[in-house]
């Protein structure tokens, strides 16, 4: 370890430790995790690169302000358990966030080392620790306080809130519409990016802490907020996530084999359609698959199509690669796996073939014009430039609207005009003082770390409100 006068000095020369990736051609054929994560050696080498900044910009970039220099220092000292405890002060889900956070816009995007060379691989280091949960010290549990809280939805926001509350001594029950827990982490994000075992470990951990899970429970239809209060719950945290897919609003959108990404991904991730007929749920194995969108959802869909055997798996986006909102790593991985990127196109119409299913999609070619409100250059159609792309599966991944159950849950919770729940930004409390809400159902489709952060804040506010501390 490079020490100068007893003080640590970062290794300024070594390049960023590359990801421990599986060969692209092999991994594109199955659902194995894309990379194996850092080995101890790699983690130690990478930790040497951190400058341990006095004013760490990386921390500002992290939405939950994890003490990044501190946990990296602990890695360097081989105090992995201590490093994990440091992260756990701010984030409950390091194994997950380390894998799925858009680090390039957050912690790593702000890292000082990124100015001259490449930022420290903060995400990989976090994942390295998150994958060794046995090293963390057992969290202290407050004595039972006799109060009951219901959590609606078991996505990252719900499970974080549940975990915090259980630790604070509450009796917590999570109600989940599906038959298993994790929300988007299990039905949306594919196995090759986030192994389901990682999510299950988090859920099991909560069960060990005494959190109860009621699966197959659609709150709103099976019980309303009022009924939950009648059953003795003292507070409710609503984290139902985003719902209803957004339409492209072009002709032919309802043709067979035109999917919304949610359906396409759920069939495979949750229902294991890739193992049909061993599992009963089928899906379509397209040879030519076109996915519309440029975010993480679109990337997950197109890479899933590749793994289901597509010869051409195409991502079609209105703008160019540079403007794609997906994580950079996903775009890089997708291209390495043979995904084709078709920039500057917008769908006009899905065309039916002889059998009535989609056989092609007509697209309008675009060019970049003046910047819009978001500062990105607006795509404008090039008159007359229309192309037809053959496809036997088409997938739209252009976002979601509000979950329709938000309004059915009831209470005196106010929704905004788009159907999202209105909640205090700091506390998560809704206009009904007994109900808190957070995650995608408040912010609209966002990120795992923000959903988690909202769950944590709400747990603190619920604790304060119910225990009067």
Ligand X SMILES: Cc1cc2nc3c(=O)[nH]c(=O)nc-3n(C[C@H](O)[C@H](O)[C@H](O)COP(=O)(O)OP(=O)(O)OC[C@H]3O[C@@H](n4cnc5c(N)ncnc54)[C@H](O)[C@@H]3O)c2cc1C
Binding span for ligand X by CB under 6 A among 149-157, 250-258, 331-339, 459-467: 149-157
Helix (H) and strand (E) counts in the chain = 19, 17
216 binds, among ligand X, another protein, ligand SF4, none (CB under 5 to 8 A by kind): another protein
440 binds, among ligand X, ligand SF4, another protein, none (CB under 5 to 8 A by kind): ligand X
**CA distance linking residue 49 with residue 117, whole number of Å:** 11
Q: Does 395 bind ligand X (CB under 6 A)?
A: no
**CA distance linking residue 243 with residue 416, whole number of Å:** 15
Omega before residue 15 within 30° of 0, cis: no
Q: Does 176 bind ligand X (CB under 6 A)?
A: yes
Choose between 69 and 220: whose C-beta lies nearer to ligand SF4: 69
Q: Which of residues 122-181 bind ligand SF4 (CB under 6 A)?
A: 122-123, 126
Helix (H) / strand (E) containing 443: helix 440-443
> In terms of DSSP H, where are the helices of 54-213?
57-61, 68-76, 80-88, 94-100, 107-110, 113-116, 122-130, 156-167, 184-187, 196-208
Q: Does 435 bind ligand X (CB under 6 A)?
A: no
Residues at the contact surface with another protein, assessed by CB under 8 A: 177-179, 187, 215-218, 221-223, 243-245, 247, 253-257, 259-260, 262-263, 266-267, 271-272, 276-282, 356-357, 403-405
Position among 136, 310, 448, 459 found at the interface with ligand X (CB under 6 A): 448
Phi-psi region of 184 (alpha: psi -120 to 50; beta: other; left: phi over 0): alpha
Q: Which of residues 77-106 bind ligand X (CB under 6 A)?
A: 100-101
Q: Which residues contact 218 (CB under 8 A, 6 or more apart)?
A: 177, 405
**Distance of closest approach, residue 301 Cβ to another protein, in angstroms:** 13
Q: Compute how many residues bind ligand SF4; rule: CB under 6 A.
A: 27
Q: What is the DSSP letter of 380?
A: E
Q: Does 266 bind ligand X (CB under 6 A)?
A: no
303 binds, among ligand X, ligand SF4, another protein, none (CB under 5 to 8 A by kind): none
Choose between 11 and 349: whose C-beta lies nearer to another protein: 349
Pair of tokens at residue 194 = 């986030």
Binding span for ligand X by CB under 6 A among 75-83, 240-248, 308-316, 458-466: 240-248
**Distance of closest approach, residue 401 Cβ to another protein, in angstroms:** 9
Based on its alpha-carbon atoms, the radius of gyration of the chain, rounded to whole angstroms, reads: 23
């Amino acid at each position: 370890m490079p020490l100068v006068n007893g003080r640590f000095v970062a290794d300024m020369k070594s390049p960023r430790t590359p990801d421990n990736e599986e060969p692209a051609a092999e991994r594109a054929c199955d659902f194995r995790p894309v990379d194996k994560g850092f080995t101890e050696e790699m983690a130690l080498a990478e930790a040497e690169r951190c400058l341990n900044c006095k004013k760490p910009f990386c921390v500002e970039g992290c939405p939950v302000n994890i003490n990044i220099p501190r946990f990296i220092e602990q890695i360097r000292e081989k105090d992995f358990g201590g490093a994990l405890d440091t992260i756990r002060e701010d984030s409950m889900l390091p194994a997950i966030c380390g894998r799925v956070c858009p680090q390039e816009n957050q912690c790593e995007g702000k890292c000082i080392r990124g100015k001259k060379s490449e930022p420290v691989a903060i995400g990989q280091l976090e994942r390295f620790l998150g994958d060794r949960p046995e090293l963390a010290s057992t969290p202290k549990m407050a004595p039972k306080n006799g109060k009951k809280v219901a959590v609606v939805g078991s996505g990252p926001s719900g499970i974080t809130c549940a975990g915090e509350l259980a630790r604070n001594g509450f009796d917590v029950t999570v109600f989940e519409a599906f038959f298993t827990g994790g929300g988007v982490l299990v039905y949306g994000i594919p196995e090759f990016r986030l192994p389901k075992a990682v999510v299950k470990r988090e859920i099991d951990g909560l069960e060990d802490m005494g959190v109860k899970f009621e699966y197959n429970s659609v709150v709103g239809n099976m019980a309303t907020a009022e009924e939950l209060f009648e059953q003795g719950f003292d507070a409710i945290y609503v984290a139902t996530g985003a719902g209803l897919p957004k339409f492209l609003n072009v002709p032919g959108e309802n043709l067979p084999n035109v999917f919304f990404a949610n359906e396409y991904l759920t069939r495979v991730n949750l229902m294991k359609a890739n193992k049909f007929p061993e599992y009963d749920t089928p899906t379509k194995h397209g040879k030519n698959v076109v996915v519309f969108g440029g975010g993480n959802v679109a990337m997950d869909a197109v890479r899933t199509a590749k793994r289901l055997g597509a010869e051409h798996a195409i991502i079609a986006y209105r703008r160019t690669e540079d403007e794609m909102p997906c994580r950079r790593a996903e775009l890089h991985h997708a291209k390495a796996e043979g995904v084709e990127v078709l920039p500057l196109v917008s769908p006009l119409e899905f065309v039916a073939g002889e059998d009535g299913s989609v056989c092609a999609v007509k697209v309008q070619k675009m060019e970049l014009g003046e910047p819009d409100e978001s500062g990105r250059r607006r795509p404008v159609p090039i008159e007359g430039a229309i192309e037809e792309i053959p496809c036997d599966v088409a997938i739209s991944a252009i976002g979601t609207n509000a979950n329709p159950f938000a309004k059915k849950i009831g209470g005196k919770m106010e929704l905004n005009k788009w159907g999202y729940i209105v909640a205090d930004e700091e506390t998560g409390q809704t206009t009904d003082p007994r109900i808190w809400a957070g995650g995608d159902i408040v912010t609209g489709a966002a990120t795992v770390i923000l959903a988690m952060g909202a769950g944590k804040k709400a747990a603190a506010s619920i604790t304060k409100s119910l225990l009067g501390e």
